Structure 1
Amino acid sequence: LKNIAKEGDRLFTRASKRNFETVRSVRDDVKFHEEAGIIAVGEIELDVEGDVAIVTGGSSDVPIAEEAAVTLEELGYSVERLYDVGVAGIHRLLPNLQELRESDVVIVAAGMDGTLPGIVSGMIGTPVVGIPTSVGYGTAREGRSALETMLNSCATGLAVVNIDNGYGAAAFVHHILKDD
């Protein structure tokens, strides 16, 4: 990590506090986003625009959502968070539909049965990126049930990344929004 951190501005994902201390020993311009597990070294300066909403089904999905949110913020995007609004409490989602429609892209992280991304996609008409999370119990199967539900959704405009891949969702959104 020390050698890589010396090379320039970058992000490290799935990082620990110990990793942060290692990087901080060679760079002063470093931030640790503990909940997201991201170390940001330097300032990544991109000329980007875009508003991204990030939604979670439950509070257990937040660390994966934060991985996406922090990545996008470090790249220069505006991020709005709407957490713990899953199908078990969908009344918390409904008042926020207009805000979701006004976003350029929406990321939805959900575990258990993984139905929230399809529901959101069907209600807003904005591109949605689903992140199945490995939270859940019973037949959730470490996120595989959520993944399969998202992949089988008939809602148009829904793309799906792999289980717990908040960074991958952010990278996909960046490819959608960046101006070549």
Structure 2
Amino acid sequence: MNEQIRLDFQRPERLDVDEAILCARKSDAQLTAIMDRVLAHGTRCLMTRLDPEVFARMATTHRERLDYDPVSRTAYLNWISAGELEPPRIAVVSAGSSDMPQAAEVTRTLTYLGASTKQFIDIGVAGLWRLLDRVDELRTFPVIVAVAGMDGALPSVLGGLVPGVVICLPTSTGYGVSNGGQTALHAALASCAPGLTVVNIDNGYGAACAAFRVLNMIRRTAAAPNG
């Protein structure tokens, strides 16, 4: 088992981001060994794609150290809240409430990393007035994660309305030719709105890390002597 697990405890020194543990397709024994290694090292970790039934099988001693959210399927191991965070500078905008699992993965990841967010739920472009009612507020955010499935129109519309960095998170929400998120992904990649950043289908963790990297550089620039 030791040869199967090599955790990157030095990653925060390089990237300011811990290694996250992708729980999908790992055995119960592997997850137990990983958690034991993290705890023995006296550190913390974010666990993603942790299904409720897998969480339920974990030993009580491990579950007691986990802050688990079944919607996002994320867990914080050995995590202590940093307390009150700065005002939100990252907006998480979801086209519909069906996109909540992916949006929740974004917000949970950013909370773990110490970045506060503001959520805008169910403001997809099929009811354009819902988005237009919030545009003035959305223009104040330097970073926006746009979460959308089906035809994936929300990121393109946002990209033509707001000046901040827009990170597109296509989701597998939708019927038929939505094709498990392929249509939303292709729409984001082919968008005529310039400068959009796109992550893979349902990759809320990746979208959150992209947003955090942007925010981190904004913070560093502001803190620099000549910033």
**TM-score, length-scaled by structure 1:** 0.91
Determine the C-alpha separation between the residues in 1 that align with 2:127 and 2:76. 34
Cα deviations across residues 38-79 of structure 1 (Å, max 9, x unaligned)?
Answer: 011122788x96611001111111111110111001111111
Equivalent positions of 1:60-71 (< 5 A) are: 60-71=98-109
Match of 1:42 in 2: 78
Deviates more, 1:37-46 or 1:160-169: 37-46
Which of 96, 101, 110 is matched with 2:139 structurally? Answer: 101
Match of 2:197 in 1: 159
Contact 1:125 1:157 in 2 (8 A): no
1:26: Cα distance to partner?
2.8
Over 4 Å off, 4+ runs = none
Determine the C-alpha separation between the residues in 2 that align with 1:151 and 1:110. 13
Which of 122, 127, 132 is matched with 2:160 structurally? Answer: 122
Equivalent positions of 1:143-158 (< 5 A) are: 143-158=181-196
Cα deviations across residues 84-142 of structure 1 (Å, max 9, x unaligned)?
Answer: 11111121111111221111200011111111001011101110000111111132111
- What root-mean-square deviation, in Å, do the aligned CA atoms of Structure 1 and Structure 2 show? 2.0
Matched residue SS, 2:160 = helix
The alpha-carbon distance between structure 1 residues 120 and 23, as it changes in their structure 2 partners (threshold 3 A), is: farther
Contact 2:55 2:63 in 1 (8 A): no
The alpha-carbon distance between structure 1 residues 54 and 41, as it changes in their structure 2 partners (threshold 3 A), is: same
Unaligned 5+ residue runs, structure 2?
Answer: 1-30, 221-227
Match of 1:16 in 2: 51
Structure whose CA Rg is larger = 2
Matched residue SS, 1:107 = strand
Matched residue SS, 1:72 = helix
Match of 1:26 in 2: 62
Matched residue SS, 1:25 = helix
Contact 1:5 1:23 in 2 (8 A): no
Supply the AA of the counterpart residue of 2:55: F
Higher relative contact order (CA 8 A, sep 6+): 1
- How many residues are matched? 179
Contact 1:23 1:30 in 2 (8 A): no
Contact 1:61 1:135 in 2 (8 A): yes
Supply the AA of the counterpart residue of 1:124: V
Deviates more, 1:68-77 or 1:96-105: 96-105
Determine the C-alpha separation between the residues in 2 that align with 1:115 and 1:44. 38
1:24: Cα distance to partner?
4.7
Contact 1:53 1:106 in 2 (8 A): yes
Determine the C-alpha separation between the residues in 2 that align with 1:68 and 1:76. 12
Matched residue SS, 1:102 = coil
Contact 1:5 1:27 in 2 (8 A): no
The alpha-carbon distance between structure 1 residues 141 and 61, as it changes in their structure 2 partners (threshold 3 A), is: same
Matched residue SS, 2:172 = coil
Unaligned 5+ residue runs, structure 1?
Answer: none
Identity of aligned residues (%): 40
Supply the AA of the counterpart residue of 1:17: P
